[in-house]
Structure 1
Amino acid sequence: MTRPLLLLPLLLAACGNLSQVGKAPDFSPLEGSYQHHSLYSTPMPETADPDAPTDASSLWTGQTTSLLGDRRAAQRGDILTVVIEIDDKAEITNSTGRSRTGSRSMGIPQMFGIPQRIDESLPEGASMAEAVETDSGTSFKGDGSVSRKEKLTLRVAATVVEELPNGVLRIEGQQEVRVNYELRELIVTGYVRPADISRQNEITYDKIAGARVSYGGRGQITEMQQPPYGQQIADTVLPF
């Protein structure tokens, strides 16, 4: 009964994959996400009193719809553009060398005739004049190098999902693009200061605290690049 129970998770995983055979990967639903909740929970602006004086014809109104109004994201539910331009290159080379030699000798050739008396009871060739003699030597050499290059250029719209008490905004952006049977997914989360948002309502990734950028995908091509589940389990369980 043990073997069927061990094979049950593998069979369930295989059935889940078989249900997607011949189908394109589904998009992730927006309903229930932080972005959806933030957009729908943002209070609507109050309706102006028709009898109250209006300054709609003025260019100096503070509303975002005015000519000189600030259109930058500032509260929960607002949308801004995140610009990701990563072009990192790192090369590190280390070399370490160490060597040590040591030699020690100790003997008692004369000490009130005591060594001579001890020599009489020692095996042939042994003498207290050369009681102890040691030699040691160690050497170590290590070389290491790291070479890395990353380049990524992306733009994605993100939503302000939370406004912290100190004014910092937590943003989250998700973008999915499906081409044939492969779906590319981009996720960006982090914390930004309203002052770092440009007048074009954009912010670069290097100004996002705790930035988390995930760029990947799922589909037929991604599945072919991954080893089968059985091989992954065998690589994890087998000790050799």
Structure 2
Amino acid sequence: MTPRTLLLILLSCTACARIDHIGKPPSFTPPEESPERVAMAYSAVPDLAVPQRSTDGASLWSGTKSSLLGDRRAMKRGDILTVVIEIDEKAQISNSTSRSRSSSESLGIPQLFGVPQRHDPKLPDGASLADAVDLSGKSSSGGDGSVKRSEKLTLRVAATITDVMPNGILAIEGSQEVRVNFELRELLVTGFVRPDDVSRQNEITYDKIASARISYGGRGQITDMQQPRLGQQVLDAILPF
């Protein structure tokens, strides 16, 4: 494969995402391709081998989710729960360092098997091997650094249990897409939760999700304008200045 062909393939692949919304709003992700739909479609089939009495379905004290006092929390693959994301964090760090050093070294060989006396006459006027080496050095450095960050994000998204681990931990994944004019906002949430952390309202906060991956971004005409072009990104990565 020639470099020219490789470059054309790379440029065509990078342009596919932008060609999708030329002259029209960005397309939604087909729900048929989502892991949530796969988990719902291929979840465990309820055990109907043992028939229930007709009075069990009408009882207020039955253990099923349809009863008045039943536990409606998500427990198995394909169930849905609500993830509450409320991030309000602030961080401020300030560092200051200062360092200085000075040193001086002097080495003389007035007597070394007669070498100075033998070579001094051959040296220019004023030069002597009595003080063979004289070194001095001085260095100083100082630095100041500060970090100030503030993040605030409040979102709610429905997530689906995509798998149940052997130890009972639930793997969840949720996605949400909102399109306004020609800009599409995407929210993605994945992670692992304990069934005990799911509240009675079938909700869980983001700080109780292990290996949480939360992405809030989008695509569209505004995002395209804010992102540097591919050539500029390549040059920024390889240029040493």
| Pairing 1:218-229 to 2, within 5 Å after superposition | 218-229=219-230
Work out the CA distance in 2 between the residues paired with 1:29 and 1:229: 27
Work out the CA distance in 1 between the residues paired with 2:208 and 2:218: 26
Distance 1:12 1:113, change over 3 A: closer
Deviation of the 1:101 alpha carbon? 0.6
1:198: which partner in 2?
199
Deviation of the 1:204 alpha carbon? 0.6
Work out the CA distance in 1 between the residues paired with 2:64 and 2:7: 63
Distance 1:226 1:200, change over 3 A: same
Q: Any idea what the Cα deviations from partners look like across 1:153-176, whole Å, max 9, x if unmatched?
A: 000000000000011110000111
1:104: which partner in 2?
105
Distance 1:181 1:12, change over 3 A: same
Distance 1:218 1:97, change over 3 A: same
Work out the CA distance in 2 between the residues paired with 1:146 and 1:51: 64
Deviation of the 1:7 alpha carbon? 5.0
1:31: which partner in 2?
32
Q: Which moved more, 1:116-125 or 1:59-68?
A: 116-125
1:180: which partner in 2?
181
Unaligned runs of 5+ in 2: none
Work out the CA distance in 1 between the residues paired with 2:233 and 2:34: 31
Q: Any idea what the Cα deviations from partners look like across 1:92-118, whole Å, max 9, x if unmatched?
A: 111111111111223345689875566
Distance 1:65 1:128, change over 3 A: same
Deviation of the 1:67 alpha carbon? 1.9
Aligned-residue identity in percent: 62
- Say if 2:191 and 2:211, in contact at 8 Å, map to a contact too: yes
Q: Any idea what the Cα deviations from partners look like across 1:72-102, whole Å, max 9, x if unmatched?
A: 1111111100000111111111111111111
2:31 aligns to what SS in structure 1? coil
Work out the CA distance in 2 between the residues paired with 1:120 and 1:239: 53
Deviation of the 1:66 alpha carbon? 1.7
Work out the CA distance in 1 between the residues paired with 2:52 and 2:104: 103
Distance 1:2 1:163, change over 3 A: closer
Deviation of the 1:137 alpha carbon? 0.8
- Say if 2:20 and 2:27, in contact at 8 Å, map to a contact too: no
1:171: which partner in 2?
172
1:130 aligns to what SS in structure 2? coil
1:212 aligns to what SS in structure 2? strand
How many residues matched? 240
| Amino acid aligned to 2:214 | V
- Say if 2:87 and 2:154, in contact at 8 Å, map to a contact too: yes
Deviation of the 1:231 alpha carbon? 4.1
Deviation of the 1:56 alpha carbon? 3.6
Deviation of the 1:55 alpha carbon? 3.2
| Amino acid aligned to 2:205 | T
Q: Any idea what the Cα deviations from partners look like across 1:25-79, whole Å, max 9, x if unmatched?
A: 1110111321111101123434486674743444332111222221111111111
- Say if 2:21 and 2:220, in contact at 8 Å, map to a contact too: no
